């Protein structure tokens, strides 16, 4: 690629004009490279490509932003328009129009020029939001280099008639959310000459970890496949629709139809001028605070839970201000982690979870081997609040009562008293107790998983609110058993699987109870030199194992 000049995002560019009163700069393309460094924001630009020249936006630093940028006219260069090489941090690219397409004239790339490229040396976390990319011969979003580090996340993006692929992804934290990708049956990109055989895969997943595809719409058109899963690549598609053949067997579907909505998602710019003016799609103005910042100031603090492959860690914390999930320091965004006002709880194993917050860290409880960092410094959870923040109170009604309580953290009787006519059995996570009258209080961490009144009647409250013990009962007897045996493996093994029915932990085949995470039929855990097992019904829809543990499935195990 021959480039005539190099400048930085902060430099004053030539050919700046007023654009009908809209607040953006119009820039004539002349082969310039515009370097965007760490912490910089580059926004409200309209590039005119009609003279045949090109331009490159080169993202070299993390915590940077490209926002409100439009490219007008058919591109006739030989390279990508946006290239990302930042080694760390977050990058946001939003409200960008690359919908006028490109020609096949440049042959320095095998398939001609492309729109966006995630460089193999990059290891940052990029979010693409409200982007319109159409008619590019060499991929719309060429982002499969995340298999070796970093991540990409697409939100409310639109791609059409791109060669090779529209969304090319690979990393385990990559996600495509509320997006559209398809090929139609006419012209595949302005200037292509109608080369239908060059039409690409709407979604192309390269080998790596499982890629998420949520509420998105995909269609193949004349290209043979709507989605291609290369080698052992896998994807989990939830919601949305797909029309066309899927190549490769690693796609797991949930509530996916065959009638996609291929219209442009709301908020995506449909012209370069619209993008440059920022009239649609942007989620925040550079100088304006977010809603959270309006209420409590900027989210200036970062708490990071660095998981350990040796086991699952459950955590919960509370702040005095606002809190939101973050991809800082390579953390993942997990739907299973819950933010309820100022209170957060979640789980982490061989990955990282991070949150940005304002105010003070009021309470922190951690059960497991993860290391916790606050603003880059390792902290001791016992320095924040109490170890067991939840309160469970049991009150006998009309005479003696016996009960059993189980949590997925740690539980203890708040009182030190232990009358002789009352028995208590505590095994870390379980309390068995009899009371003659009055009430007793327990403090615990984690979640309340089981409450059983064995004899008599009792009233039970959790954190001051009455609860129904029937809502925390035992699971039904499930027929099938899955055993993951790490006794002969060399080191720990990480696993995840999904069932079409219910799943619970089990002591089948002398297994120990694993510290696994179970959410909506999806299980994640770690097994070292022990055996762990699960009861389940339905089918195992997906299974991934990293390590040398052995796996055995016994259908109708209770009948054997």
How do residues 259-304 score in pLDDT, each as one tens digit?
A: 999 999 999 999 999 999 997 665 544 333 333 333 445 788 999 9
From residue 230, give the alpha-carbon distance in Å to each of 140, 163, 246. 18, 17, 11
Closest CA to 85 of 110, 62, 65, 56: 62
Q: Which range, of 246-260, 375-389, 462-476, 526-540, averages the lowest pLDDT?
A: 462-476
How many alpha carbons lie under 13 Å from residue 186 in its C-beta half-sphere? 3
Average pLDDT, the chain: 81
Looking at residues 45-74, what average pLDDT do you find? Answer: 94
Residue 133: helix, strand or coil by DSSP?
Answer: strand
Cα(28)–Cα(14) distance, integer angstroms: 7
**Residue whose entry in the numeric block shows the structure tokens 């603090």:** 301
pTM: 0.52
Q: For position 6, what pLDDT does the model report? A: 45
Q: For position 27, what pLDDT does the model report? A: 96
CB 262 within 8 A of CB 244: no
Cα 248 from chain centroid (whole Å):
23
Q: Which range, of 21-35, 134-148, 178-192, averages the lowest pLDDT?
A: 178-192
CB 378 within 8 A of CB 372: yes
Q: Which range, of 27-31, 296-300, 544-548, averages the lowest pLDDT?
A: 296-300
Looking at residues 522-538, what average pLDDT do you find? Answer: 84
From residue 303, give the alpha-carbon distance in Å to each of 292, 294, 374. 17, 21, 4
Q: Where are the beta strands (DSSP E) in 178-319?
A: 180-182, 201-205, 211-214, 217-219, 225-229, 235-238, 241-243, 245-247, 251-254, 301-306, 313-319
Q: Residue 239 — very low, low, confident or very high, per pLDDT cuts 50/70/90?
A: very high
């Amino acid at each position: 690629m021959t480039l005539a000049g190099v400048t930085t995002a902060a430099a004053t560019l030539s050919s700046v004009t007023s654009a009908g009163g809209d607040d953006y700069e119009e820039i004539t393309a002349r082969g310039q490279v515009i370097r965007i460094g760490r912490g910089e924001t580059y926004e409200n630009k309209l590039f005119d490509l009609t003279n045949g020249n090109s331009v490159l936006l080169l993202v070299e630093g993390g915590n940077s932003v490209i926002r409100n940028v439009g490219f007008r006219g058919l591109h006739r260069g030989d390279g990508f328009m946006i290239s990302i090489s930042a080694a760390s941090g977050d990058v946001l690219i939003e409200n960008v129009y690359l919908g006028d397409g490109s020609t096949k004239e440049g042959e320095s790339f095998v398939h001609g020029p492309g729109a966006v490229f995630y460089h193999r040396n990059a290891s940052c976390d990029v979010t693409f939001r409200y982007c319109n990319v159409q008619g590019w011969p060499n991929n719309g979003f060429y982002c499969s280099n995340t298999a070796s580090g970093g991540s990409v996340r697409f939100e409310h993006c639109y791609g059409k008639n791109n060669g090779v692929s529209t969304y090319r992804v690979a990393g385990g934290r990559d996600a495509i959310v509320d997006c559209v990708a398809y090929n139609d049956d006419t012209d595949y990109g302005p200037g292509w000459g109608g080369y239908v055989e060059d039409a690409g895969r709407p979604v192309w997943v390269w080998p790596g970890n499982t890629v998420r595809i949520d509420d998105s719409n995909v269609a193949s058109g004349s290209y043979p496949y709507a989605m291609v899963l290369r080698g052992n690549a896998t994807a989990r598609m939830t919601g949305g629709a797909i029309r066309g053949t899927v190549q490769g067997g690693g796609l797991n579907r949930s509530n996916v139809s065959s009638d996609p909505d291929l219209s442009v998602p709301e908020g995506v710019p449909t012209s370069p001028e619209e993008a440059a003016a920022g009239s649609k799609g942007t989620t925040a103005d550079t100088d304006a605070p977010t809603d959270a910042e309006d209420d409590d100031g900027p989210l200036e603090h970062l708490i990071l839970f660095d998981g350990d492959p040796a086991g699952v860690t459950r955590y919960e914390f509370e702040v005095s201000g606002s809190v939101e999930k973050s991809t800082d320091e390579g953390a993942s965004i997990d739907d299973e982690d819950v933010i309820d006002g100022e209170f957060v709880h979640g789980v982490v194993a061989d990955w990282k979870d991070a949150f940005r917050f304002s105010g003070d860290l009021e309470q922190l409880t951690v059960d497991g081997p993860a290391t916790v960092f606050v603003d880059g410094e390792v902290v001791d959870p016992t320095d924040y609040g109490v170890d067991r923040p939840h309160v469970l109170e049991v009150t006998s009604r009309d005479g003696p009562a016996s009960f059993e309580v189980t949590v997925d953290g740690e539980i203890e009787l708040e009182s030190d008293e232990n009358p002789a006519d009352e028995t208590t059995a505590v095994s870390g996570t379980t309390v068995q107790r009899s009371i003659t009258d009055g009430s007793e209080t327990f403090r615990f961490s984690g979640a309340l998983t089981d409450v059983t009144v064995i004899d008599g009647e009792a009233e039970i409250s959790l954190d001051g609110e009455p609860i129904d013990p029937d809502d925390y009962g035992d699971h039904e007897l499930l027929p099938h058993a899955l055993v993951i045996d790490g006794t002969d493996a060399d080191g720990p093994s990480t696993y995840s699987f999904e069932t079409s029915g219910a799943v619970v932990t089990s002591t089948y085949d002398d297994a120990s109870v694993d510290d696994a995470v179970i959410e909506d039929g999806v299980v994640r855990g770690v097994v070292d030199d022990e055996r762990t097992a699960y009861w389940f019904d339905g089918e195992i829809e997906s299974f991934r194992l990293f390590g040398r543990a052995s796996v055995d499935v016994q259908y109708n195990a209770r009948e054997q």
